[in-house]
């Protein structure tokens, strides 16, 4: 099917959203014409190699309306002539009445610019994330009459108000959820559950080659050769890294380990303070945000991967964490929690170990056991690698999305 798909993203490019970049590239390789509309300009100092391979043009909408008043005013004058302007305005005013915030005003302003500046060849709007990007796509869809769809992931699902999720689900053509937990939650809110389907984003295994060789059989007994524990993720509440530090601080002193954390985030300084207060600062390396190749190298050098996910106070939680699949693809044993979709990728005791979230003692006990038992780590790593490579390739999800974009609904329902 000819025509361009406008992808509405919160920010592009972003190190923490590699799965979106991999999806865009895979869809391009299969013939889809994509134009990216980003609500924010990039802030990461690094880029993944995949970003350089994407051919899609990128347009940046005004991040703050008052920074580009003339552009917004021109868009408003143009949008007023669109047949859907009155309907879009009425919907937005209703939303604003329930959420009277600057963010809600900004979403409508960005939608005006998007609608006014869309190329004539655009046939469909697609938002990644059900919160802000979906709001912009929804208003622009009402303005232009173009159909829209959405890919939902994690925070956007669990922190968006129920009324808003219901109304978006009623107005879009289809929604792709990247886990069964998310699919089931959203389908229960939809007037037509058939619009919500499961599409694991999975991994492009050409970028994650099979691990070579075997890992050293470290058991925590040698202070000069400690067990290397790797944690990858933003320093935000839902990742539970504070629980990890507390659990590590409580381990027996004769057990030798070293923690490497990859990622940035708002809570970094607090985590560093916690490590110092717990007496383990000298055992922790804060590597910061890194590109794909550097992260792959850390997977290869580590002995154990830990992601102690939890449900944050505002309801935010992980979806299906890509880092768990990435670590498993490299044969790395994984320790995580019974949260959201994590059990969809980790089978407790078979392809990894799961403990209750926010349970410092349970996490410490699992850490002590896994640090001391290299054979257990090797078995879990091998089984995890086998399963993730057999069941979590990105190919089925890409095929499902491509069928949707091309209007092949029967094929899509078979993928759901």
Residue 411 has pLDDT above 70, yes or no: no
The number of distinct structural domains making up the chain is: 2
Residue 53 has pLDDT above 90, yes or no: yes
Q: Are residues 259 and 371 in the same domain?
A: yes
Q: Are residues 196 and 284 in the same domain?
A: no
Q: Which tens digit of pLDDT belongs to each residue from 362-398?
A: 999 999 999 999 999 999 999 999 999 999 999 999 9
Q: Are residues 263 and 179 in the same domain?
A: no
- The model's pTM: 0.87
- Joined tokens for residue 352: 């990894």
Residue-number span of the structural domain to which 290 is assigned: 227-391
Q: What is the DSSP letter of 193?
A: G
Q: Which tens digit of pLDDT belongs to each residue from 192-218?
A: 999 999 999 899 998 898 988 889 999
Task: Return the SS3 of 189.
Answer: coil
Share of the chain above pLDDT 70, in %: 98
Q: Which tens digit of pLDDT belongs to each residue from 118-166?
A: 978 999 999 999 999 999 999 999 999 999 999 999 899 999 999 999 9
Q: Are residues 71 and 85 in the same domain?
A: yes
Q: Are residues 374 and 411 in the same domain?
A: no
Within-domain flag for 210: no
Q: Are residues 301 and 326 in the same domain?
A: yes
- Residue reference for tokens 């879990």: 380
Give all strands (DSSP E) within 29-143, no chain letters: 33-38, 57-60, 122-128
What is the residue-wise DSSP string for 225-259?
SPEEEEEES-SSGGG-HHHHHHHHHTS-TTS-EEE
Within-domain flag for 215: no
Integer Cα distance of 46 and 31 in angstroms: 28
Q: Are residues 283 and 153 in the same domain?
A: no
CATH of residue 261's domain is 3.40.50.2000
Within-domain flag for 239: yes
Q: Are residues 168 and 49 in the same domain?
A: yes
Within-domain flag for 25: yes
Question: At how many degrees (to 10) do helices 322-329 and 374-391 cross?
Answer: 110
Q: Are residues 63 and 188 in the same domain?
A: yes
Q: Are residues 195 and 256 in the same domain?
A: no
Q: 230's torsion region: left (phi>0), alpha (psi -120 to 50) or beta?
A: beta
Within-domain flag for 385: yes
Question: Which of the residue ranges 6-20, 28-42, 93-107, 290-304 would you say has the lowest mean pLDDT?
Answer: 6-20
Q: Are residues 368 and 403 in the same domain?
A: no
Residue 46 has pLDDT above 80, yes or no: no
Stretch 234-240: mean pLDDT: 97
Within-domain flag for 216: no
Within-domain flag for 10: yes
């Amino acid at each position: 099917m000819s025509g361009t798909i406008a992808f509405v993203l919160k920010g592009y490019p972003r190190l923490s959203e590699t799965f979106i970049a991999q999806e865009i590239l895979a869809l391009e390789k299969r013939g889809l014409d994509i134009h990216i509309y980003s609500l924010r300009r990039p802030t990461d100092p690094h880029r993944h190699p995949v970003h350089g391979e994407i051919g899609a043009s990128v347009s940046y909408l005004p991040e703050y309306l008052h920074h580009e008043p003339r552009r917004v005013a021109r868009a408003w004058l143009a949008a007023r002539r669109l047949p859907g302007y009155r309907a879009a305005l009425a919907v937005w005013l209703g939303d604003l009445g329930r959420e009277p915030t600057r963010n809600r005003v900004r979403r409508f302003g960005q939608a005006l610019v998007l609608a006014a500046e869309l190329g004539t060849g655009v046939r469909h709007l697609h938002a990644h994330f059900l919160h802000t990007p979906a709001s912009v796509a929804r208003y622009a869809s009402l303005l232009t009459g173009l159909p829209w769809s959405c890919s939902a992931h994690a925070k956007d699902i669990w922190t968006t108000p129920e009324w808003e999720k219901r109304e978006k689900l009623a107005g879009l053509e289809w929604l792709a959820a990247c886990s069964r937990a998310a699919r089931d939650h959203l389908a229960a809110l939809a007037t037509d559950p058939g619009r919500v389907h499961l599409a694991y984003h999975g991994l492009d295994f050409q970028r994650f080659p099979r691990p070579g060789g075997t890992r050293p059989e470290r058991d925590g007994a040698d202070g000069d050769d400690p067990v290397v524990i790797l944690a990858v993720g933003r320093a935000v509440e839902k990742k539970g890294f504070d629980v990890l530090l507390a659990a590590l601080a409580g381990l027996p002193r004769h057990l030798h380990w070293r923690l490497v954390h990859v990622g940035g985030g708002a809570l970094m300084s607090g985590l560093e303070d916690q490590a110092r207060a717990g007496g383990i600062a000298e055992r922790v390396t804060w590597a910061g945000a890194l590109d794909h190749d550097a992260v792959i190298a850390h997977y290869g050098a580590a002995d154990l991967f830990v992601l102690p996910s939890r449900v944050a106070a505002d309801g935010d939680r992980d979806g299906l964490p890509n880092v768990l699949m990435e670590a498993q693809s490299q044969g790395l044993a994984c320790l995580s929690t019974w949260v959201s979709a994590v059990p969809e990728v980790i089978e407790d005791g078979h392809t990894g170990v799961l403990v209750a979230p926010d349970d410092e003692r349970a996490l410490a006990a699992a850490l002590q056991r896994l640090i001391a038992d290299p054979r257990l780590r090797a078995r879990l790593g091998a089984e995890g690698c086998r399963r993730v490579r057999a069941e979590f390739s990105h190919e089925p999800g890409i095929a499902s999305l491509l069928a949707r974009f091309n209007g092949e609904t029967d094929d899509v329902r078979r993928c759901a």
